[in-house]
Amino acid sequence: MGVMRIGRAELRVMDMEKAVDYYTRVIGLEETGRRDGRVYLKAWDEYDHHSLILQEADSPGMDHCAFKVETLEDLARYEKKIEHFGLTLKRVSNRSRLGEGEAIRFELPTGHQVELFHEIDYVGKIMGLENPHPWPDNLRGIAPHRLDHVLLTGDDVDSTTRFFIEALGFHQSEKIMSVDGEVTIGSFLFTNNGKPHEIAFIKGPDKKLHHAAFFVDNWYDVLKGADILSKNNVPVEVTPTRHGITRGLTTYFFDPSGNRNEAFASGYITYPDFKTITWTEDKIGQGIFYHRREMLESFGRALT
């Protein structure tokens, strides 16, 4: 299997206590530890020690995202593939961060930092593994099941897409092309776990985060999430709607530092033989916001 799934994202925040309050009380994540100026969090349905790291910094954005591989031996195998592709790579020592084992870190053609890892502390779910209930009591906030995906921006979408497919074994679920078919504007990539995307890229400034998304069950949970956001005076960019791309249900909003978040539900199931869907630039409004069929100006400009 190799790369199994997205494992974590580390976000830069400018006021740690405001960020922790937001991600625990409004989003509904659980704090699992603090060390060296970082706060570690997980969703209630995740069993690894963390899926989100908050790092206090002078500006918002994403420090890195990481994908979990099936075996420790996979790290050496992918290290060779990444070096063969020509990307800058280094080893991250065991326990460099709380709860984490050794990792490899590399820089994408878009300038983003990405890691692959296998070892991470197992903390489990509150429901346990024997005769578990479907969900725990006392859920807070939006209460997503998991970190779902990240969307990043960069200039070289083609090389980045080729790297994920050729070196890491990802598949492309959808792409956005210029009307003449010459320029790739967007690329949506998945592993073999059936999701519509784990990571996606939109053509734009290098090294930028567009959003980090959290998975909720259904349309009602997206609506409820929007209610919780409004109740807590969280800046909401896009009220509940549907994507044409991925068929996902969505609402977009911003954390206290300006990092965009998404509550994402549904979407189709993918398989290794899934055929790539193509959207053309003249239909991008419908692809992103299926109901209103036009883009919001802020959606392409509010980047961290």
- Strands 171-177, 184-190: pairing kind: antiparallel
The residue annotated as part of the active site, out of 122, 262, 271, 290, is: 262
How many angstroms separate the CA atoms of 184 and 151, rounded? 15
Q: Quote the CA–CA distance of 4 and 106 in Å, as a whole number.
A: 18
H or E stretch covering 125: none
- Cα(229)–Cα(254) distance, integer angstroms: 10
Name the active-site residue from 49, 112, 197, 210: 197
Contact partners, residue 203, CB within 8 Å, separation at least 6: 153, 154, 155, 157, 183, 184, 185, 186
122 labelled catalytic:
no
42 within 8 A of 124, measured Cβ to Cβ: no
Cα 160 to chain center, whole Å? 16
Q: Could you tell me how many residues make up the chain? A: 304
The answer to whether 46 is a known catalytic residue is no
Backbone torsions φ then ψ of 214, nearest 5 degrees = -120, 135
Residue 41 to residue 294: CA distance in whole angstroms = 35
* Catalytic residue status for 262: yes
- Pick the catalytic residue from 149, 182, 268, 294: 149
Residue 133 appears among annotated catalytic residues: no
Question: Residues near 208 by Cβ (< 8 Å), separated by ≥ 6?
Answer: 61, 152, 153, 154, 303, 304
Cβ partners under 8 Å of residue 275, min gap 6: none
Any catalytic annotation for residue 149? yes
22, 23, 40, 252: which one is catalytic? Answer: 252
Residues with active-site annotation: 149, 197, 211, 243, 252, 262
